[in-house]
Structure 1
Amino acid sequence: MSVQTGESAAKALASDIKGKTVIVTGVSPGGFGAETARILALVGAKVVLAGRSLSKIQAAAQAIKEEVPNAELKQLILDLGSQKAVREAAAEVLKYDGPVDVVILNAGVMGTPYAKSPEGLESQLATNHIGNFLFTNLIMPKLLESSAPRVVSASSVGHFWGPFRFDDYGFEDGETYDKWAAYGQSKTANILFAVELAERYKNKLTVFSCHPGEAPTGLFQYMTKEDFEKFGDNFNADGTPKGDWIRTVEECTVTYVAAGFDQSIADKSGSYVKDGKVANEQAAPYALDKESAKKLWDLSEKLVGQTF
């Protein structure tokens, strides 16, 4: 599928999108989630706007309604950093009428200072992986009501910054914390989760992890002067991007639309998608390792205190 923006991709796939109920997480205005929600509503999807900030959800909803007055929207408070909050959000989804057809797990944090979740987990791992793992599994009954359900797990090229640290995923309780290794670990986890989820629900659920691309969004809010110097090949000292690697938000959403709705890749469940295409060769081998994927699933069940 050769398209330039998420909107053009959605229009090309409109017959596969119209009428579908889609949960999009992390819908802060100006980000990937809000733009994905907008273009899906534009072609007739029923969109659930999920995020931890009610004001940001409402702002995204208002912007969509101004463009698409008859858009069918729901709002869902979802704080992925708290397992209690995730359970509350999932309980609300389970009350919805009809199936949930697609979940686009866009929400996440990047390069945050060391912090712990309410359950005592390093916060990037808690938010980027554990919250998504728990939410997806808890709403599985609604997904399986759909005739062709999909889950899209947003990872990043940042998964190359670190494999999953099974022996020390908490960085010695913060003593050896490296925010970029922690981010890399969480993004590797997003890919491993997709691998094992696809395996466990073979022929019932289509799952993709993906790297949507890099665009200046709120995800960059924790970048410091030292970080821009560290990634000097990609940034100028003042934090402005250099080179041709940066894209627009509109361009990056192509991958979410393809992973969520493109029928031509439906038989590649468990794969890594980039630029709207299956791109397993562009993922780190450790991120697609099936044994690691199963091991992470078992650990994740332990960390949420529930088996699925």
Structure 2
Amino acid sequence: MRSVILTVLLLSVIGLPGYSYGGKVLVTMRKIGHEVLLSSGDSTSWVSPIEELDDRTFLIRFQHPFAFQPASLVEIIHRHLQEKQGGLDYLVEVREEKLNTVAYSYEVHHPLNRKEIACLTRKPPRGAYTIKIQFAQPPVQTASVDHTVWLTGLLLTVLLMGIGWRLVYRKPLTSTPVGQAAPLNLVHLGPFTFCLEQQILRLGADRIELSAKESKLLKVFATSPNAVIDRDRLMEQVWGEEGVIVGRSLDVFVSRLRKKLQPAPMVRIVNSHGRGYKLEIDSPKGPGQED
């Protein structure tokens, strides 16, 4: 049985044709936002950190209101996506955030047929827009197998063989107690159990889904419970790889995380004015302790 499991894991890695460039999708989205602002005559305001709503949906936010020309928008988005994502179909929605309405939308089925896209020559008014791009399937770019990919596959094989060995012997998942600086795998936060890999919180039989950013943020808090963590450290560890960091995004995701922690009031995120945030976890009261 053990040899069968290891053989399957080995073949699954050797058969990989390439690898995913998930991080490059975020770079592509930022380039789209940058070029959309330039086409509107804005060369100074920021494109906020790209939000990955799920594995095929991305949201581009902007610092200031702007105006756009639909024909230019369609050309910019398709040029970047055609170059990086090949023949994937996708849906674009331009939303007016203050009015909570869709100001403009269209869908592309390759090859692009501009005659099927309405209102290309009309110009919507200036507004606080966001651009949501949703792919028909998760965007993945593959590369031909070379020595680098072969070596990566070999390393993954060794890793998966180790995982298979553990599965055969049914060793339990290691758990990192709160307060230790060991690598996070499964962490207990009061009554919660946090699994970073699966991006979930468990509270008894309840399962609370977390986004990728929420998971990264909670991971930073979990490494230093009951201690104030500076805003700069939080933003750097969660958004640092994206290059541009906007403080408002931190407050938004802290607010979202707070709501997901509400079922257990003894675990909460509190604000330290002028410094940052702290994950507070109340210790359970022992027998004979008073409130």
Confirm or deny a common fold (TM above 0.5): no
TM-score (normalizing by structure 1): 0.25
Larger Rg: 2
TM-score (normalizing by structure 2): 0.26
